Chains A and B, each alone.
Chain A
Amino acid sequence: MSALKLLPILFILLILTAPASASGILEENIWIFKGSYELGAGERAHLEGFTVKIHEIKADEAHSTLLIYRSGIFKEAFLADSGLNNEHTYNDELKIDIVAITPEKVSIEVYKQKSELVWITEIPRTAFKAGDTLTGKDYKLTVAGIGEDGTLIMVEHGGDIHQRNYQSGEYQKISDDLMINVLYLKRETGEVFIETLKPGSPGIKIDVANLKTVYEPDEYIEYELILTNNGTIALHGIILNVECEQGSVSQEKQQHSILEPGKMKKFNIKVKPHNYPVGHNISIRSNVLGYDYRGNEYRALTATETSIGPYISIKKEIIPMQRPSSEIELGMKEYFKVKITVNNKADSQRAVTVTDELPASFIPDNLRDTEWAILLEPGSTTTIEYSTSPTEPGKFTFLPATVVWKDNGQTYALESEINDRTFHVRGPDIQVEKELSSSYMLVGDEISITVKISNNGNRDLKVSFRDRIPHVLTLIEGDAEWEGTIEAVTTKEFSYVVRAERTGEYYLPETEIIYEDGNERMGRVASYEAFLYIDEAISEEEAYIEGKRYVYDIEPFVSHPETTDENAQITRIQAAGFLASSFVVLFSLIALVPVFAYLYITRIYK
């Protein structure tokens, strides 16, 4: 009973195992090319369990003794030459072809027998009836008849006609390039199911992985070359040759024995680039050679490109900092730390000059200039650090630093990467100007001095100033000092009037203002000095009208007892007298004509 239960399982197993035997048609025991070798005396070639060793080379007799090992155990030795005795087969498993014998080397090609997929279905299962014809690329198949003893099939191929009776499941290799397979003969309907097969071919596809776009000059260019067999049958004796003119390839030649269809093989490529003063492109050529089971060559070539940077590198970093309030007397709270890193990746010492250009309103702290001459040891890195402070608030961007060096008499320059970050420095921007209403005056004259304070910054500022008045001037009107707040983006003017006391040329001292913002940061700003020329007072005869004042006389009135106003230069009596005399003179002049006319008339006609 239990045996009966096992029957269905057995049946299913039989069905499942049936296709496996069918694939046997597609495979063939063939000598598969495993690679070509050039071996000197004593050298060995290892090959899937076998080892071939050149025992000796007799160049004068043009023959050589070769030894065959299997799993490291000596099996046999044979004598071969490049003439008639150039082929040796061991145990129907290994075949060695001697290609050439030179005094130093023996060139051999090695084949190994293996059952391998070589046939690929060309025309899949198709139903034919007697008389039907199938025309392929290089053959013509005709089903001549279907009878009890099988089906008669006629194949025209390569100029020959092959004719034969086939039963169900029979196949025949017509040539190395064609095989027909009679799958099933259905006598009751007079049909026969046939498929044709052709030998497959391997395909080579090359891909590159893990390749960077830019490499440092001291860095190995390492990447993977992925070889894929996109053909239908296996690729054998694969040889990869890697060449590079701008660098040294670590392993120029790499081999791989077999690559099944659809499979991939990764080759690691490692190239050490040569040093160049400037950045350049590097091209690596990879040449792949492989063979099919019949020894037909298949080639693929690929060129891989990448870039190598210059051996000198420069990097600039800007770090915004803030001073503690206690340290601020002048200038802004913000300052910047500049960090320039220069690296020499060349294999020799280099003398370089590093230059850094600062924005116009920046001053480096404790430095005379921002240029440094440095000697860089091979593979060394030097870092330059300095601080810089802005002299006025605003928005700033830093320029890149430059490194200049010489190589073989030629000068090379390299800039650091452009830092397009904008730094905003907040703080006071205050200006003070001192203006005189006139820079020329006479002793006793008065001029107006104006102090103009402009707060162009973005903060309100507490401002104070005290203007020093030289002893040659006397303050008449207004104040020469002030203290208060000036709002952001506003200008205030302060004026006072002074009188000149002594002649001479003078420079009025600069007006210095002290300002303070909300963060208790203090600063000082001063105006320019103002020039003033004080001339001698003019005499009475030279009295003239100047400006908007009428100068009558100066000296006598200063100490006149009747002066009602000490600043007035003329008394009321004198002014009245002057007016009266003016009137009298005018009256007399105008009255001359009518008076004479009156006298004339009265005298003549009286």
Chain B
Amino acid sequence: MVILVEILAFIVSAILFALFAIAVLFVLINISSRLALIILFFTPLIFILVIPKTSIAFLAYQQMLLANGLVPVNNFHILLMLWSTLIGIILYTEFLTWYLGKGKSMRKNKQNVIHDSNSPSHIRSTDVGDAIKAARDILLRRD
């Protein structure tokens, strides 16, 4: 009976983590890496703030004990691992995108001056509508 509950808890936890990872990756691929990063950071935080008891219980739930019981693995550890992985993916995607798009050409042509319409000077607009648009463009990485 206890084993059955543990198996069930593991499956539910795995599904939740998988859904979270899929959602983040979906956003990363289809929308924006920065939005994915925001989702990645805020989702657990919102859950903690809204339903602290359940969330703490979920994160504190021990999934397994490794090395003869010396190393317990809780959902919190799994969240950390998931975070590490997804942060890595997002950061390196961002870096590689930048490198392939700009850095490479910079390397080839030292003298080439990059014209960037999305430079921060452009954002300094008094028009609120423009500011929202600019923020949206940043999020959606529209050059």
Identify the A interface with B (CB < 8 A).
Answer: 545, 547-550, 564-565, 568, 570-573, 575-576, 579-580, 582-583, 586-587, 590-591, 594, 597-598, 601-602, 604-606
Contact = CB atoms under 8 A, between A and B. Distances in A.
B76 interface: yes
A565 B106 contact: no
B3 to A, nearest CB: 14
B84 interface: yes
A25 to B, nearest CB: 113
A597 B102 CA distance: 13
Interface in B52-77: 52-53, 55-56, 59-62, 72, 74, 76
B48 A575 contact: yes
Which of A547, A590, A606 lies at the interface centre, i.e. has the most chain B CB atoms within 10 A of its CB? A590
Given A548-B61, A570-B56, A590 B91 contact: yes
Contact of A550 (B48, B53, B74): B74
B72 A601 contact: no
Contacts of B92: 594
Given A565-B53, A601-B99, A586 B80 contact: yes
A545 B67 CA distance: 14
A548 B52 contact: no
A568 B56 contact: yes
Contacts of B95: 594, 597-598
B87 A605 contact: no
A549 B59 CA distance: 10
Given A564-B53, A590-B91, A576 B83 contact: no
B49 interface: yes
A568 B52 contact: yes
A602 B91 contact: no
Contacts of B76: 550
Given A550-B59, A564-B53, A582-B83, A601 B107 contact: yes
B110 interface: yes
Contacts of B107: 601, 604-605
Nearest to A564: B52
Nearest to B85: A590
Contacts of A550: 59-60, 62, 74, 76
Given A572-B49, A601-B106, A586 B55 contact: no
A576 B74 CA distance: 17
23 contacts: A549-B60, A550-B60, A564-B52, A568-B56, A572-B52, A575-B48, A575-B52, A575-B56, A576-B45, A579-B48, A579-B79, A583-B40, A587-B91, A590-B84, A590-B88, A591-B91, A597-B99, A601-B103, A602-B106, A605-B106, A605-B107, A605-B110, A606-B110
Contact of A579 (B44, B61, B106): B44
Tell me if B's interface is mostly helix, strand, loop or mixed. Answer: helix
Given A548-B62, A583-B41, A605 B91 contact: no
A582 B103 contact: no
Contacts of A580: 41, 45
Contacts of B59: 550, 575
A570 B92 CA distance: 35
Contacts of B55: 575
Contacts of B49: 572-573, 576
A582 B45 contact: no
A590 B83 CA distance: 10
A545 B106 contact: no
Given A597-B99, A605-B103, 8 more contacts: A548-B60, A550-B59, A550-B62, A573-B49, A575-B55, A576-B45, A582-B80, A586-B84
Given A586-B80, A601-B103, A547 B52 contact: no
B117 to A, nearest CB: 18
Given A545-B72, A583-B83, A605-B110, A568 B53 contact: yes
